Amino acid sequence: MLQRLNIRNYALIEQLDVDFTSGLSVITGETGSGKSILLGALGLALGERGAAEVLRNKAEKCVVEITFQVSEEYKTFFEENDLDFAAETIIRREIAVGGKSRSFVNDTPVSAKLLKELGGKLIDVHSQFETSNLRSKEFRMNLLDAAAGQFEQAITFKKQFRKWQALKADLEQMIEEDAKSKAEADFISFQLNELDAAGLESIDIASMEEEAEMHRNAEGIIGHLSALVYRLEEADEATLPALKTALQSLDALANMHKSGVQLRDRLKSVYIELVDIAAEASRERDSIEGDPGRLKVLEDTLDKLYALSHKHRLNNAVELIDLREGLRTKLEHFEGLTEKIESLTKEVESSREVLFQLAKTIHGGRIQAAGLLEKNVKEKLALMKMNDAKLQFVFSVTEELNQFGQTGVELLFQANKGLDPQPLEKAASGGELSRLMLALKATTASFLSLPSLILDEVDTGVSGEVAARMAEVMRGMSGEMQLIAISHLPQVAGKAQHHYKVFKETIGEQTFTRLISLTEAQRVEELAGMLSGENITDSARKHAKELLQD
């Protein structure tokens, strides 16, 4: 049950706090006084889209908070969605200055989608324009499923149907990919064979390039090394013999002068290093041997690798290995498509069979529920002076599955005796549609076990005795649920147990929307004004008191 509504900084509302109770409550007010603003704020808190445009003061955030009295039967929903359950549950929606919104349930952040789902379980807000929903297939299916007690099964079917559609889409994409892969797989196999033939695993490209360079320049390398050895050891004025003589002089100097020791040691280090260099250069010279045959093998292999790199637009031959592994993975994926397609095809068919069986069960429940709905709606319409009115569901079975199963349904209506039932848009006037919608709401309210219902001018287009009859129906509905009716009709307002008035107030250069709970005396004045207009008469007041006493 809706207990409290708090609104801050929303459109014309600066601050509004109102408490609600059980039974039938009515909200009245002149056209344009702000009833739609109230419903807009309520919708925002229940997950409807919000934007910065709703901010009254653009420098402050908007906050709408609703407090519900929640029964234990909703505890499972809270647990499934990781929410803290509380008998007094608070839903809060905030719109920041920049337009970003945040939603909370008992101070736990939630998505707008979850907020909308929870709100739909706690309260139904019926707009005066909702009579157009009678032509909506979804609305008709929801009516039938509610009456059949299979609302959850229908929701489960929709979820499974969407999963099935997703599986079908995956299968179609996979089949399309498989068709394209046939030609591509042959080309990839050719590329792989070419790369495998190159023997990439056994090739050290850097070493091959270095060896090829050696064979290519063998004569020059030997010449330079020989010249080095000659200058160090073999020339008439070779470096090493000259250094050896110098060392002998420094040995003598070291015996005579302290500084000679340091000089000798330093020159000895140089001598030893040059001896080592000469020996290594000699070994390297003797090991070098140019081999034209080996050079040709190396150059042929490297040319193939360079050509492959260029062919695949790679920066170097090393990247060929990564390319080959990528091609191999892709080919394995293509080769596995056939198996995956077979497996997914079986899954799609299995899901389809399950859906058909579930659709058949749901369709049967709807057919049974239709009779119950037609009977109850007829009784409710008779209470509202439509004794000969008749609602009829005409069923068909669709060949293909859709989100509603296989049920095709047309809603026919007969307002007066002697006429054949016709589609609603042809058979009912505005006032008749209003009464039909109220009859449907009254009938399905008990099926859905909905705690709260808000009716926004569902009595549009009626007056007099018909209005009084509709008020009686609303009063009866309020015995099973909390009912809040927004109305222009004094007959409805008179039947309410609680009366609120919405109005605009101008202070200085600003206009505010207000909502107040009326006392008994204020209710008389409000009803009298609704009966007689701006100039309230004693007769209108008398009539107002009579309405309140009925």
Helix/strand/coil percentages in the chain, nearest 5: 60, 20, 20
Contact by Cβ (8 Å): 474, 485: yes
Where do the domains of the chain lie? 181-335
CA distances from 120 to 124, 125, 450, 451 (A): 6, 9, 9, 10
CA angle 386, 389, 393 (to 5 degrees): 145
Model pLDDT for residues 355-367, shown as the tens digit of each residue: 999 999 999 999 9
Give just the sign of the alpha carbon dihedral 379, 383, 384, 389.
positive
* Token pair 């009784």: residue: 379
Neighbouring residues of 208: CB distance < 8 A, sequence distance ≥ 6: 298, 301, 302
Give burial (CB, 10 Å; 0-12/13-18/19+) of 61. middle
CA distances from 343 to 174, 187, 329 (A): 11, 27, 21
The whole model's pTM is what? Answer: 0.64
Give just the sign of the alpha carbon dihedral 128, 501, 106, 44.
positive
* Nearest by Cα to 146 from 442, 349, 486, 540: 442
Residue-wise DSSP of 297-329: HHHHHHHHHHHHHHHTT-SSTTHHHHHHHHHHH
The pLDDT of residue 335 is: 67
The pLDDT of residue 189 is: 61
Backbone angles phi, psi at 398, to 5 degrees: -80, 150
Q: Identity (one letter) of the amino acid at 48?
A: E
Residue 17: strand pairing partners:
6
Contact by Cβ (8 Å): 349, 375: no
Q: Give the Cα separation of 168 and 84 in Å (integer).
A: 38
pLDDT of the chain, 550 residues: tens digit per residue: 899 999 999 999 999 999 999 999 999 988 888 888 888 898 888 888 877 788 888 889 999 999 999 988 889 889 999 999 999 999 999 999 888 889 999 999 999 889 988 888 888 877 644 555 667 788 888 889 988 989 889 989 999 999 999 999 999 988 887 777 666 666 666 666 666 565 655 566 777 777 788 888 788 888 898 888 888 888 888 888 888 888 888 888 878 887 788 888 888 899 899 999 988 988 988 888 878 888 787 777 777 777 776 776 766 666 676 677 776 766 666 666 777 888 889 999 999 999 999 999 999 999 999 999 999 889 888 888 888 888 899 999 998 999 999 999 998 988 888 778 888 767 667 778 888 888 888 887 767 667 888 888 877 777 788 888 888 888 988 888 899 999 989 999 999 999 999 999 999 888 989 999 999 999 999 999 988 887 888 898 999 998 888 6
Backbone angles phi, psi at 314, to 5 degrees: -105, 155
What is the Cβ-side half-sphere exposure of residue 444, based on CA atoms within 13 angstroms?
23
